[in-house]
Amino acid sequence: MINDWILVYQTEEEYQAEVVKQLLEHNELHPVIMDKKDDEFRSFGVVNIYVAPEEAEAAKKIIQENESEE
């Protein structure tokens, strides 16, 4: 992964990360999921979504708008 990518979303639930990833892709962004969960104990850890720096502001706005609709 490129070192300067920006963390735009973090969750403990893998399905939530997939939903957010699909939302960002639907809006023509290019998110990357990084699973930081423990391999042996999947209930520990987080799943992060990163985007390129030039997409970070748009991604955060899309995520925020989507969360406010729920």
Domains of the chain and CATH, by start = 6-61 (3.30.70)
- Read off the amino acid at residue 12: E
What is the C-alpha separation between 63 and 61, in angstroms, rounded?
5
Residue-wise pLDDT tens digits, 25-57: 999 999 999 987 555 665 678 999 999 999 999
Contacts of 12 (CB under 8 A, 6+ apart): 45, 46, 47
Say yes or no to pLDDT of 20 above 70: yes
Q: What is the average pLDDT score of the chain?
A: 88
Residue of 36, 30, 38, 37 whose CA lies nearest to 55? 30
